[in-house]
Amino acid sequence: MRILVAEDDSVLADALQTSLRQAGHAVDWVGMGSDADTALLHAVYDLIILDVGLPRMDGFEVLRRLRSRGCQAPVLILTARDAVEDRVKGLDLGADDYLTKPFALQELEARVRALLRRGQGGSSAVLACGSLRYDTTSRRVTVDGTAIEVSPRELAVLESLLLNAGKLVSKEQLVEQLCDWGEQVSTNAIEVYIHRLRRKLESASVEIKTIRGLGYVLEKPRDA
């Protein structure tokens, strides 16, 4: 999943980026509200983590502009303000969740997982297709209860396919979700990850179909 972190505290921003990347997400970071607004005009994100006290445009205004454009991506507000009025204002503007500083990274990670599931139309921590299971909390992949070892990049591809099981996912979508700003992942690399996943999931009652020229679909074989 691709996440935008809008936070002007560089120490906190570094910690957030490290934590989210270790969880397999692509993360972009901005330190000013105006830059967050620009980023949200030009890129699609699965989640926005938005500090209220941003310079050059506060988080409330960034959120107001985002929702006025019709974007429904989940937004997690971060703030040092603990007044009820501020929490109400953020939620009324369209925030999905609210976290007051200081907070534990473990709690933020749990809220991120919940918001990403909600944004994809799900509520369970476990994504499943056939005998394939992926626990988004433990980041454990199993086939018929047996653990399967996958790399972080392979896991990111697999998560996207599971979230869209039965639907086409293009190579471009996968590249977008794997890459931070300034990072390059080729569509050829996506083919390599897909090839590795197919080998590792040979015993699962699922298959990753290639739709030539378009992308991939994860589905259960008809005879499964």
What residue ranges do the domains of the chain occupy?
A: 2-119, 126-219
pLDDT of residue 15: 94
Q: What dotted CATH number matches 126-219?
A: 1.10.10.10
Residue 122 has a pLDDT of 56
Stretches in the chain below the pLDDT threshold 50:
224
Output the pLDDT for position 222: 57
| Contact call for residues 81 and 212 (beta carbons, < 8 A) | no
Residue 152 has phi, psi (to 5 degrees) of -55, -40
The answer to whether 84 touches 75, Cβ cutoff 8 Å, is no
- Cα 32 versus chain centre, distance: 21
Question: 197 near 154, Cβ under 8 Å?
Answer: yes
Task: Provide the token pair at 128.
Answer: 């499943």
Q: What pTM does this model have?
A: 0.70
The predicted structure's pLDDT at residue 77: 94
Handedness of CA 130, 135, 141, 144 (dihedral sign): negative
Return the amino acid letter for 187.
T
Q: Which of 211, 206, 210, 208 is nearest to 223 (CA)?
A: 206
CATH class of 2-119: alpha beta
Contact yes or no for 16/5 (Cβ under 8 A)? yes
Q: What 3-state class would DSSP assign to 142?
A: strand
Q: What is the pLDDT of residue 223?
A: 54
